[in-house]
């Protein structure tokens, strides 16, 4: 199974990237963020029951699953996946964690990476390469012979290890963590949030005015 998340940024990318949009058709998609809550409210009259962002969802899932699982980590910067795996081992020690590679591997390394996955065959493969690369990678290369579930987790490794600081709990509760992240990384995230969020809301409003299918 392929699994990922949809937020305002992902939705904007899918709107302009046919390959990415087609790839998502085969994914189990979970809601992430206030943007998709607004869209759900406009389309269906209510927001999603919960914000299932991957930074909270994946650790929660691993904690909830009492049966020992095999978990593979692929992506992130050099050393980041290893640090994330070490932290997971300390916090949720009953699973078997294995680092496959960081996200800066060369094309010549691909066969070796896929071979490692076949040999280990994790129950859950966490792929942290950023959008849309991670979803396209899963869609193109990962099959049932490599893992049971492949999850596109974005910045999970950076956030879980503290390389990128999360917002205080009260900020998360009011669904304004994106503001906290923007203040941390204004150069990288300004376009995503200051331009992307209004574009997303305009697309939602335009769809509602046109009566487009939900």
- Cis preceding-peptide flag for 182 (omega within 30 of 0): no
CA distance 74 to 52: 21
Report mean pLDDT in 10-residue bins for the chain, 214 residues: 97 97 97 93 90 94 98 98 98 99 97 98 98 98 98 97 94 92 94 96 89 62
User: What is the model's pLDDT at position 214?
Assistant: 52
User: What is the model's pLDDT at position 211?
Assistant: 75
CA 86 from centre of chain: 20
pLDDT, one tens digit per residue, over 118-171 is 999 999 999 999 999 999 999 999 999 999 999 999 999 999 999 999 999 999
3-state secondary structure 163-181: CCCCCCHHHHHCCCHHHHH
CA distance 118 to 189: 36
Domains and CATH numbers, the chain: 2-210 (3.40.50.2300)
User: What is the model's pLDDT at position 48?
Assistant: 93
User: What is the model's pLDDT at position 136?
Assistant: 98
* Contact assessment for residue 156 and residue 126, using Cβ atoms and an 8 Å cutoff: yes
CA distance 125 to 177: 26
User: What is the model's pLDDT at position 209?
Assistant: 82
* Contact assessment for residue 44 and residue 204, using Cβ atoms and an 8 Å cutoff: no
Q: How many CB atoms lie within 10 A of CB 33?
A: 23
User: What is the model's pLDDT at position 189?
Assistant: 95
CA distance 36 to 31: 7
* Contact assessment for residue 33 and residue 7, using Cβ atoms and an 8 Å cutoff: yes
User: What is the model's pLDDT at position 125?
Assistant: 99
User: What is the model's pLDDT at position 154?
Assistant: 96
Is 147 exposed, middle or buried, given 0-12, 13-18 or 19+ CB atoms closer than 10 A? buried
CA distance 106 to 188: 24
């Amino acid at each position: 199974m392929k699994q990922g998340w949809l937020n305002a940024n992902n939705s904007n990318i899918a709107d302009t990237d046919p390959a990415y949009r087609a790839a998502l058709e085969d994914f189990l998609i979970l809601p992430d963020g206030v943007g998709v809550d607004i869209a759900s409210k406009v389309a269906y009259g209510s927001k999603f029951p919960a914000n299932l962002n991957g930074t909270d969802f994946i650790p929660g899932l691993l904690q909830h699953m009492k049966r020992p699982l095999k978990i593979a980590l692929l992506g992130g910067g050099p050393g980041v996946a290893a640090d994330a795996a070490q932290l997971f081992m300390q916090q949720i020690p009953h699973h078997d964690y294995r680092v496959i590679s960081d996200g800066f591997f060369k094309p010549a390394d691909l066969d070796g990476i896929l071979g490692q996955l076949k040999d280990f065959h994790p129950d859950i493969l966490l792929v942290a390469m950023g959008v849309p690369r991670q979803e396209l990678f899963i869609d193109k290369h990962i099959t049932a012979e490599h893992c049971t579930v492949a999850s596109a987790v974005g910045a999970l490794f950076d956030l879980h290890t503290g390389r990128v600081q999360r917002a205080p709990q009260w900020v998360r509760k009011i669904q304004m963590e994106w503001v906290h992240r923007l203040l941390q990384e204004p150069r990288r995230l300004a376009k995503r949030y200051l331009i992307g969020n209004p574009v997303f809301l305009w697309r939602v409003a335009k769809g509602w005015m046109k009566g487009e299918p939900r």
